[in-house]
A and B are shown apart, each in its own frame.
Chain A
Amino acid sequence: MEILVCIKRVPLSGAKFSLTADGRDIDTSRLGFTVSPHEECAVEVAVRLVEQHGGSTTVLSLGVEDAEEQIRDALAVGIDEGILLVTDGEEWDAQATAGAIVDAIAESGKSFDLILFGNESADASGNQVGIRVAHALSRPTLSGLKGVQVSDGVLVGERPAGSVREVFEVSLPAVATVKDGAAIPRYPSVPGRIRAKKKPVHRSTPTRPLSLLAKQSVSVPESVGKQTKILGSGPEGISALVDVFRSIGVI
């Protein structure tokens, strides 16, 4: 089985984002980078499926040259090769991204049985690149999966919906978008990291089409300036907290 996984490099910040001077983007000069947990799970699902059924895996990212770091992270946990579609850092909207991925698939000469995406990217939250790629390739898609199995050429997916889990089945070749929780991602081992350095990463430089969803500016929402009441340090705060429980009616 040949599997492709698509991942996006995004800044990692635990605190409030600061913006660039022109207000058009996040100031990433002091931030680390990562991929969405959904995509980490997609990578793990791909590696597990190939461990189970044999085959090979490819990871693809459209992003700046430094996105090689996220590709190498995926290679370190068992993905076989990488494709980096190099951009100049300008934002590509979901349609443009899907188009570039479809072109890269054609160029790779491979006929991937399964193409995996995150349900949504961490930053843009478009919820759509995978579904757009599926339509361009006339393939069935299952989205938002928290369970992915393959048996006898059939993709079986499931996801929680209220008090039940919905189960879907489509024949391969297919596209699936997965969510955090679909599999616990493994940590890269030291030998894995070393092997990753030698794995091939193919590059190409697609041309960005005009954005039909064009970002103009960003802003950080006002936090609801809460007055935090410190009830105490250590156990001395406990009786005050029990009073809070009483006053808000939970005991």
Chain B
Amino acid sequence: MLLVIVDQDRGVLDELSLQAITFANSVDPSAPLVGLVVGASGREVADTLGRFGFTDVYLATAPDLNDYSAAACGRAAAELVSTLAPTAVIAIGSQRGNEILAHLGAILGLPVATECTSLSLGSPTHVVRARWAGNLMESAELHGSPAICSVVSHLAPPAAAMNQTALVTEFFPNFTDTDLAGQVRSRIAESEGGTSLADAKVIVSGGRGVGAEGFGPLEELAHLLAGTVGCSRVVTSAGWRPHAEQVGQTGTKVAPDLYIACGISGATQHLAGCRNSKTIVAINTDPDSPIMAVADYAIVGDLHQILPALVAATRTARGI
């Protein structure tokens, strides 16, 4: 039996979690799939999960659990593990998925393999996992049972819905005060308007080569292409642009239709965040910079000359 943790937020299913189901199926197609949903607000989500191939779904609730708490999710999973003895516990490698598994591993005293791309169960279990945000792959032995692992996002497609229902069982884990203390207390709406980096179809991104004062033409071009501005870490740590615009290993991972990298060298940590873009254009004075090796198209030259002219040409092409 495989236990899959399905995340939900105030009654809304986390779509990424559906990829964890697909991955679990590929690990052992013959094993029954059991789902865990945490929080009373997840009742409707739990009721619909049967469609994705679960035989059983467990819903963990408590009167004092009113919102998401990573520790509470970990505790609920630990209790299910002790009653059901699954061979593996699988979650999606999102912030939440990874932190829930960390709590689970800590409670059970078991190792956790995050960001896996493959898992073969056994003793020991063999995993392949991404290190360095996917710039290095590791083969490792994972000892102990169950095997606890998260799957890299966007490796597997979301599970397809079928005509099937699951038995939903509510249970009441013994949450500690510490588990409950870590709940979300409130939410503040983000003030920024416009498209967010993660959802943008076009990103005009700037690096050190743009300079503190040089982002005007990038904003104009982004506007003309109905996109948004991104940047490298050099730019955010210099305070030229807000951190929310940083693309990369420790920034946002993006996959737009078009990524225009202006004055960005293409360090592995930056590429970790933009490599999956459909088309990459590089504008750089250095024909040997690493960004050139991943770009589909490039203009070699000074962005301070090229960008204003590109803005003008784009405006003409759009007839405005």
Inter-subunit contact A169/B185 (CB<8 Å): yes
- Given A139-B178, A141-B71, A144-B99: A218 and B131 interface contact (C-beta under 8 Å): yes
Q: Which residues of A contact B292 (CB under 8 A)?
A: 228
**0/1 string, A197-241, CB within 8 A of B gives 1:** 000000000000001111111111101101111111111011111
Q: Is B44 an interface residue (CB 8 A)?
A: no
Determine the residue in chain A with the shortest Cβ distance to B278.
A248
Q: Is A188 an interface residue (CB 8 A)?
A: no
Determine the residue in chain A with the shortest Cβ distance to B137.
A219
**0/1 string, A157-179, CB within 8 A of B gives 1:** 01111111111111100000001
Q: Is A181 an interface residue (CB 8 A)?
A: yes
Would you call the interface of chain A mostly helix, strand, loop, or mixed? Answer: mixed
B residues 235-292 touching A (CB-CB < 8 Å): 236-237, 239, 243-244, 246, 249-251, 257-258, 265-269, 275, 278-279, 281-282, 287, 290, 292
Q: Is A93 an interface residue (CB 8 A)?
A: yes
A residues 68-106 touching B (CB-CB < 8 Å): 93-95, 98
Q: How far is the CB of A70 from chain B (nearest CB, A)?
A: 16
Would you call the interface of chain B mostly helix, strand, loop, or mixed? Answer: mixed
CA A38 to CA B318, docked complex, whole Å:
42
Tally of A interface residues using CB under 8 Å: 90
Contact of B296 among A158, A164, A218, A228 (CB under 8 A): A228
- Given A95-B111, A168-B184, A233-B301: A228 and B140 interface contact (C-beta under 8 Å): no
A residues 121-150 touching B (CB-CB < 8 Å): 122-128, 131-132, 134-136, 138-144, 146
Binds A, one of B20-28, B56-64, B208-216, B305-313: B305-313
Inter-subunit contact A251/B317 (CB<8 Å): yes
Q: Which residues of A contact B142 (CB under 8 A)?
A: 212-213
Contact of A230 among B71, B249, B298 (CB under 8 A): B298
Q: Which residues of B contact A134 (CB under 8 A)?
A: 106
Q: Is B295 an interface residue (CB 8 A)?
A: yes
Tally of B interface residues using CB under 8 Å: 97
Contact of B298 among A26, A94, A228 (CB under 8 A): A228
- Given A184-B239, A217-B139, A242-B317: A167 and B113 interface contact (C-beta under 8 Å): no
Q: Which residues of A contact B186 (CB under 8 A)?
A: 167
What are 7 of the A-B contact pairs (CB < 8 Å)? A16-B268, A168-B184, A180-B243, A184-B237, A230-B287, A230-B298, A233-B299
Which of A's residues lie within 8 Å of B, judged by CB? 13-17, 26, 36-38, 93-95, 98, 119-120, 122-128, 131-132, 134-136, 138-144, 146, 158-171, 179-181, 184-185, 211-221, 223-224, 226-235, 237-242, 244-246, 248-251
